[in-house]
Chain A
Amino acid sequence: MHTYLQIIKGTIEEYTTYRVSFILWRVRLVVQLLVVYFMWWAILAGHQELFGYTQGAMLTYVLFSSFVRPFVMGTRTQEVGELIRSGNLSNYLVRPMRFLGFCASRDIADKLLNVIFAVSEIIVLYVLLRPQLFIQTSAVVILLSFVALVMGMVLFFYFSLLISYLGFWTPDVWAPRFLSFVFAEFFTGALFPLDILSAPLYLVSQSLPFYYFIYFPLKVYLGQLSSMAMLQGFLIGIVWTAGLWALERIAWSRGLRAYTAEGK
C-alpha cells in the first residue's frame, strides 16, 4: 500500500514540477468548459425551454460536466501504449508491484488534482457567471450520482487501458486513441445531453460505454431518469464494467506473451 501511496505522491509532484504546463492544463480545462457553456447560453437565449431543458438545467449540466469529465476521463493510462511501444514497460514489469495498481495509482493522483482544482474553478466561475443552477437536494439521488460517477470512472479506466494494450500488437497506438477521443467527444455527452439526439442516434449512444462516462451520472444527478431507467442504466453499466474488466485481464495476459520489449 505504501508503494502505491508513494506513486500517487510522486505523480502529484511530477504535475506540479512543470508549473507553466500545470497552469495551462487548468486554463485549458476552464476554456473547454467556457466554450461549451457560452455556446449553450447563446443557443438557449430567447427560449424558455429547448429539448426539454430549461436554461438552468442545461447550464447545470454543462457546468457539472466540467467536473465529471476530468474526474471520470482524467487519466494517465494513455502513457501505457507508449511504454509498450518503446519497450520501457520492461522497467515496470521487474518492479515489485502490480502494473495495474501502478496505473490506478497514477490515475488516482490525476483525479485528486482534478477534483481539488475543478471544485475551486467551478466556484470561481459560479461567482463570476451567476448561472441559474439546479441543486439536487435528495441525499439518495446524490448518493446514486456518486455511485454512477465511480462506475463511469472504473469503466473508463479499463476502456482506456484496453486501447493502450493495442500497443502489444501494433506500434500505431495513437490512431485508435484519437478515434476513441472523437467518439467520446460526441457520445459521452460532454458537448450536449445525449437525449437531444434523434431517437435512433440516442439508442446507439445508449448501447456504447461512452454513455456512462458523463451523461449517465449527470442525468442521475439532475433527477431526470425514472427509477426503471436508472436501474436499467446501472445494470448495463455494471455489465460493461465487468466485460471490460474481463477483456482487460485477457488482453494483458495475451499481450505479455506477445510483448518482446522491442526497442530496449
Chain B
Amino acid sequence: MFMRYVRIWWMLTVSSFMISLVSRFNAGVFFVGKFLRFLFFLIFLLTVFSRTETLAGYTVNQMVFFYLSFSLVDTIAQLFFREVYRFRSLIVSGDFDFALIKPMNPLLRVLVGGADPLDLGMLPLYIAAVIYTGGRLGDVSWVNVVFYFILLINGLIISTGFHILVLALGILATEVDHAIMIFRDVVSMGRIPMDVYHEPLRTTMTFVIPVGVMMTFPAKALMGLLSPWMVIFSIALGLLFFVLCLKAWHYALFQYSSASS
C-alpha cells in the first residue's frame, strides 16, 4: 500500500514539475523572486544587528541560524504542499468529486499532488547555508545534531497539520486563499526565535499555535538550549497537533456537499 502511494506521488510530482517548467521565463522569475525574498529579510536582520549586539541574548550568528532553519522547514513544506494553494477551485467547481471517486486517499491528491520544483531549487542553498552557519555556532554535540534533525521532521509534521487544517477549512467554508496566507503570515513570526517576543504571545505562539515548536525549537536544540524532556514534549505536541488536524479533515470531508458539480 505504502509503495503504491509513493508511486502515485512520484507520478503526480513529475507531472507537476513538467507543468511548472513549461515556461522557463516564469520559472526563472519565480526562482529569482524567492531568492530575493530570502535575501531581503537576511539584509533586514543584519541591519538590526548593526546597531545591537544581541537580541533576547542571541548573537547575530544564532539569529541567522534561526532564520535559515525557518527557511528550510518553510521551503520543504511549500515544495510538498503547493497543491493546497489550488484547492479552492476544486471545491467551488465541484471537481473535488474526481479526487473522491479515485481508489486512493483524496488527502494525498489535494495535499501533495502538485509539488513545486522552484522550491526544490532553493533547497541546496538553504542546506549549504545551514551547514555553514551551524558550523560557526561553536561546539555542537552529535546528540544536538540528532535532536535538530528530529525536531526539523517534527516541524514538518506540524506544518503538514496546518496545511490539512487549511484544506478542511476549504471544504467547510470554500475559502483557502486567505486562510493559507494567514498561516504563512503567522508562521513568518518564526523567522526570529519566539524567545524574542513578549509574553503571553511567546507561550501562545510556542505551545498553543505551535509555531515555536515548529520553527524555533530545532535551532534551539542544535545550540544545546533545549532539554531532552522538552524534545520529547515537542514531539508529543507535534503528533497530537497532527492527529487533531486529521480529525478536522475527516469532519470536513463528511460535510462536503459537492456544490456546483
Contacts and interface: CB of A to CB of B under 8 A. Distances in A.
Nearest to B88: A21
Contact of A201 (B43, B181, B185): B43
A45 B198 CA distance: 9
Give the one of B26, B36, B186 with max A CB within 10 A: B26
Nearest to A174: B26
Contacts of A38: 189, 197-198, 201
Contacts of B29: 172, 175-176, 178-179
A35 B189 contact: yes
A175 B25 contact: yes
A18 B175 contact: yes
A47 interface: yes
A172 B33 contact: no
Contact of B30 (A39, A178, A201): A178
Nearest to A201: B43
Nearest to A171: B23
Contacts of B50: 198
Contact of B182 (A31, A41, A182): A31
B107 to A, nearest CB: 22
A50 B52 CA distance: 9
B177 A21 contact: yes
B162 to A, nearest CB: 14
B47 interface: yes
A43 B55 contact: yes
Nearest to A51: B51
Given A21-B175, A21-B178, A192-B44, A31 B30 contact: no
A110 B179 CA distance: 19
Nearest to B186: A31
A35 B201 CA distance: 11
Give the one of A27, A41, A51, A182 with max B CB within 10 A: A182
Contact of B26 (A28, A51, A172, A191): A172
A170 to B, nearest CB: 7
B131 interface: no
A201 B23 CA distance: 32
Contact of B47 (A25, A176, A178, A198): A198
Contacts, number: 100
B33 A178 contact: yes
A201 B52 CA distance: 19
Interface in B174-206: 174-175, 177-179, 181-182, 185-186, 188-189, 192, 196-198, 201
Give the one of A27, A28, A43 with max B CB within 10 A: A28
Interface string A22-53: 00110110011001001101110101001100
B102 to A, nearest CB: 28
Contacts of B232: none
B40 A27 contact: no
Nearest to A52: B51
B173 interface: yes
A185 B41 CA distance: 10
Given A32-B185, A179-B33, A197 B47 contact: yes
A186 interface: yes
Interface string B28-67: 1110111011001001100110111001100000000000
A196 interface: yes
Given A42-B198, A182-B37, A192-B44, A28 B25 contact: no
A174 B30 CA distance: 9
A183 interface: yes
Nearest to B46: A198
Nearest to B196: A42
Query: What 7 A-B pairs are tightest by C-beta distance, nearest first?
Result: A24-B178, A175-B29, A186-B40, A172-B26, A20-B173, A175-B26, A42-B196
5 contacts: A28-B181, A31-B182, A50-B52, A179-B29, A186-B36
Interface of A: 18, 20-21, 24-25, 27-28, 31-32, 35, 38-39, 41-43, 45, 47, 50-51, 170-172, 174-176, 178-179, 181-183, 185-186, 191-192, 196-198, 201
Given A39-B192, A186-B44, A192-B47, 4 more contacts: A21-B178, A28-B181, A43-B196, A175-B30
